Amino acid sequence: MIAVVKTGGKQYKVSEGDVIQVEKLDALVGETINLEEVLVCGEGDAVAIGTPYVKGCSVACEVTEQLRGKKIIVFKKHRRKNYRRKRGHRQSLTRLKITGITAP
C-alpha cells in the first residue's frame, strides 16, 4: 500500500516502513502522529485519488528524531558597488517512520 501525503508544503510518496524527513513538526521524539492530508492512497487497481484529499485515509507516523539539515550559504552581491552579504541557514527537520496506512 502506498500513499502520497502533503506536509510542510511538499508531497511525499510513502509506504509502510519508510523513513522520511519533513519540515519541522511540533511533536516529541517517540510520539505518534497522523498525517490527514492524503492525496493518493491504495495499491494496484484499488487506488483512491482525492479531490483534493482522500476522505477516511490517514498515515500513522512515529517521530524518530528532531534534527537540523545541512548548512547552506546565501550570498548576495552587487558588482562594483561594494555590496556583499553572506549568511548561513540550517533548516529544522523532523524524521518520521511510517508505521501504517489506513485506507477508506
pLDDT per residue as tens digits for the range 16-57: 999 999 999 999 999 999 999 999 999 989 999 999 999 999
Q: What is the pTM of this model?
A: 0.86
Q: Is the pLDDT of residue 65 over 90?
A: yes
Q: Is residue 35 part of a domain?
A: yes
In a domain, 82, yes or no: no
pLDDT at position 63: 98
Which range marks the domain in which residue 20 is found?
2-66+94-102
Residue 71 resides in a domain: no
- What is the domain count for the chain? 1
Give the distance, in angstroms, between the CA of residue 8 and the centroid of all CA atoms in the same chain. Answer: 6
Average pLDDT, the chain: 96
pLDDT band at 104 (very low <50, low <70, confident <90, very high): confident
Alpha carbons within 13 A on the beta-carbon side of 21: 9
Coil/strand/helix, residue 4: strand
On whether residue 7 sits in a domain, the answer given is yes
User: How many residues are there in the chain?
Assistant: 104
73 located within any domain: no
**Which residue has 490517514 as its cell numbers?**
58
CA distances in angstroms from 24 to 18, 21, 29, 92, 93, listed in the order given: 18, 9, 12, 5, 4
